[in-house]
Amino acid sequence: MSSSQPPSGERNPLGLDELIAILVAFGTMGAILFWVTGKNPDRLNARNWQFPAVFSQPAVTPASPGILTPESPSSDLRSPATTLIPSKSDVAPVGPLGPILPQNPPVGVIVVPPKPIARSTPDPITQPKADKPKADKPKVGPVRFSDVPDKYWARPFIVALVDRKIFTELTDSKFRPDEPMTRAELAGLIERMSEDKKPIRKPIDFKDVKDKSSAATAIDHTVTTGYLKGYPNNEFRPDKNIPRVEVIAALASGLRLKPSTKASKTLQLYTDRTKVPKWAVNKVASATEAGIVVNHPKRQLLQPNKTATRAEVAAMIYQAMAKTGQVPAKSSEYVVKPLKSSK
């Protein structure tokens, strides 16, 4: 039979199991709250809390427009290039106290270090350029020979040829003007005076001229260019002293000179004209007309068969070069001048 009295208002104390369940619940809530605040501490800020519309007033917007608020999910995404510039502060700027000191360097300015000042060096003193010296003709002054005095009859010819290196084999500051001239030596002089001349004949293989001889090249040149010839039996006789008539004939042959008048008439200049070999008459006459023949000590004395000296060969070699325009002509009382033909 149930009691008809209502239950009394006194509660029974909580059991141990109920206390443990309550502690576990609070602990779980604390852990969740701790985890949330660790992820985003700003969520606890009261200004970020949004209350439902059931309350009396809507949420208050921030007073300063410069504070950024999270955008609603429905808003468009900002472009990454857009930069948010906060508005100016409502606080009036405070004027500087005292003079404004310049910042050194100013904040935000890229300072380029000045270029180092180079040590100034004086410009080098340059002397004015002198005009380039012109190539003068060889002068007589530097050449000196103990055996060729200033008043020697052939000195102008000798000095000019030595200065032009036509004569090259000189020793002891002597020229030896009165020594005889050999055929090989004459070939060397002719080669140096006519080195640009082209050959007109075939070379001859002389049996008395060795290929390794120092004079072989000069002999071949004088033969192929028409200056010299050999003797019978295929001989050149390089060591033979050459007579004057052969020197005159060689120069006339190489220059291809021919007499303009009768040879016998031209040879009337010489008192010993009968001594000129027949084979050389035209050669001597043409060389006389060209002004190549030089006779010392008498201009009318040809001495055709006399051995030519180094001085005599130098004089006639120079006159041959003057004939071709290689050197200026020289006046000398020993140069033979042809007689003017009377009309």
Comparing 182-186, 240-244, 260-264, which segment has the lowest mean pLDDT? 260-264
Structure confidence by residue, pLDDT tens digits, 265-299: 999 999 999 999 999 999 999 999 999 999 999 99
Rg from Cα positions in the chain: 63
Rounded to 10 degrees, the C-alpha dihedral 97/101/107/113 comes to 180
pLDDT for 83 equals 46
Give the integer Cα–Cα distance in Å for 244 and 173.
26
Question: Which tokens is 43 given?
Answer: 């969520």
Question: Which tokens is 104 given?
Answer: 């050194």
pLDDT for 25 equals 84
pLDDT for 123 equals 55
Structure confidence by residue, pLDDT tens digits, 16-25: 887 888 888 8
Comparing 44-48, 137-141, 337-341, which segment has the lowest mean pLDDT? 137-141
Please check the confidence at residue 310 and state whether its pLDDT lies above 80.
Answer: yes
260, 285 contact by CB (below 8 A)? no
Assign 324 a pLDDT band (cuts: 50, 70, 90): very high
Higher pLDDT, 198 or 137: 198
Please check the confidence at residue 79 and state whether its pLDDT lies above 50.
Answer: no
Query: What residues does 174 pair with on adjacent strands?
Result: 171
Structure confidence by residue, pLDDT tens digits, 34-77: 776 666 655 555 455 554 444 444 444 444 444 444 454 444 44
Q: How many CB atoms lie within 10 A of CB 100?
A: 7
Give the integer Cα–Cα distance in Å for 86 and 107.
21
The DSSP line for 247-266 is HHHHHHHHTT---SS-HHHH
Give the integer Cα–Cα distance in Å for 175 and 143.
11
Question: Which tokens is 226 given?
Answer: 């028409």
- Phi, psi for residue 243 in degrees, rounded to 5: -80, 165
pLDDT for 115 equals 56
CA distances from 312 to 6, 21, 46, 146, 283 (A): 179, 152, 136, 18, 17
Structure confidence by residue, pLDDT tens digits, 164-212: 999 998 878 899 999 999 999 999 999 999 999 999 999 999 999 998 8
Assign 214 a pLDDT band (cuts: 50, 70, 90): confident
Mean pLDDT of 123-143: 50
Supply the mean pLDDT for the chain.
78
Give the integer Cα–Cα distance in Å for 241 and 182.
4
Greatest mean pLDDT among 41-45, 105-109, 246-250: 246-250
pLDDT for 212 equals 85
Rounded to 10 degrees, the C-alpha dihedral 288/292/293/299 comes to 90
Structure confidence by residue, pLDDT tens digits, 23-37: 888 888 888 877 766
pLDDT for 17 equals 80
Assessment of whether the complete model's pTM goes beyond 0.85: no
